[in-house]
């Protein structure tokens, strides 16, 4: 990787619920706006690694962290964890880095955690919001809905391995990489615990209403294979920007990262100046 694109991998030491957490993240400094990425269930910061290679984002500061229980961040098995905890850790992480103005981008479950962040006291720090197939309705719980049907022993002993096999059987690049990450870099208990509040929040319809009511620049991105999502027409009718990434399924950051970050770069550029030049980077 060219030197100017190389991010550093760092650790933020945070204290939450009387426990010390070492949160691993990557940081790529740039001269333009900051973009903070939040990964989904079973994901990790490396989901967004291709962003640092994108010419469309080459002058942006890019940051992505591992949630507790994924990648290399600390997780405590004896704590009962949920989405609210992830939001609180995100708050602490952003405060730790002293970020006062940034773009926020969440993928899948990360779309849920970022929407919850936007309900908090520090939402004013966010210049714009990008949701990559994040949870808005119950139909978005394609993984977590299967998890919550089972008690913990059954999930640990049978269902988790079945989930990995099912993902690998899809013959899709993104699914296969995420399945490998589940095996290698995901705490099974964390995956189980995060699923319950993911389903609970997604089942009320409030997330969709919150998204529609956002007053800041917002972009919803989806993989072309998922053009059936029931709320896409509503987003368009309500004047929200929507973009499809070609030749992609749910994990667009692996299926077509070039186009994904081109779209994100254009969106950020669009709301930062009056002229949009595709792929422009000075």
Confidence at residue 280, expressed as pLDDT on a 0 to 100 scale:
36
Q: Which of 74-83, 113-122, 260-269 has the lowest mean pLDDT?
A: 74-83
Per-domain boundaries in the chain: 3-270
- On whether the 3-270 domain is CATH 3.40.50.1820, my answer is yes
Task: Quickly state the pLDDT bin for 276 (edges 50, 70, 90).
Answer: very low
Model pTM score:
0.94
Cα separation, 11 vs 21, whole angstroms: 9
Tens of pLDDT, residue by residue over 213-256, are 999 999 999 999 999 999 999 999 999 999 999 999 999 999 99
Task: Quickly state the pLDDT bin for 277 (edges 50, 70, 90).
Answer: very low
The b-or-e profile of 138-164 (16+ CB within 10 A means b, else e) is bebbebbbbbeebeeeebeeebbeebb
46 backbone dihedrals φ, ψ, rounded to 5°: -65, -15
Task: Quickly state the pLDDT bin for 272 (edges 50, 70, 90).
Answer: confident
| Reduced DSSP (H G I as helix, E B as strand, rest coil) percent helix, strand, coil of the chain, to 5 | 45, 20, 35
Tens of pLDDT, residue by residue over 191-200, are 999 999 999 9
Alpha carbon distance, N-terminus to C-terminus of the chain: 19
């Amino acid at each position: 990787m060219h030197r100017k694109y190389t991010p550093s991998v760092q650790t933020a030491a945070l204290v939450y619920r009387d426990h010390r957490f070492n949160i691993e993240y990557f940081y790529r400094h740039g001269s333009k706006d900051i973009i903070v990425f939040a990964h989904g269930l079973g994901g990790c910061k490396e989901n967004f690694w291709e962003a640092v290679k994108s010419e469309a984002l080459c002058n942006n500061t890019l940051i992505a962290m591992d949630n507790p229980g994924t990648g290399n961040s600390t997780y405590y098995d004896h704590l009962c964890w949920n989405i609210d905890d992830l939001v609180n850790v995100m708050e602490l992480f952003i405060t730790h880095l002293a970020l006062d103005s940034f773009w926020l981008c969440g993928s899948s479950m990360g779309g849920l955690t970022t929407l919850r962040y936007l309900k908090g006291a520090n939402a004013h720090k966010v210049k714009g919001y990008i949701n990559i197939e994040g949870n808005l309705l119950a139909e978005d719980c394609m993984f977590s809905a299967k998890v919550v049907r089972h008690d913990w022993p059954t999930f640990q002993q049978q269902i988790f391995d079945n989930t990995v096999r099912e993902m690998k059987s899809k013959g899709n690049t993104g699914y296969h990489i995420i399945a490998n990450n589940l095996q290698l870099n995901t705490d099974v208990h964390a995956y189980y615990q995060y699923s319950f509040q993911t389903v609970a929040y997604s089942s009320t319809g409030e997330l969709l209403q919150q998204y529609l009511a956002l007053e800041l620049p917002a972009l919803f991105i989806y993989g072309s294979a998922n053009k059936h999502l029931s709320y896409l027409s509503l987003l368009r009718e309500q004047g929200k920007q929507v973009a499809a990434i070609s030749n992609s399924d749910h994990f667009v950051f692996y299926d077509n990262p070039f186009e994904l970050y081109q779209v994100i770069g254009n969106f950020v550029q669009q709301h930062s100046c009056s002229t949009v030049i595709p792929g422009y980077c000075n």
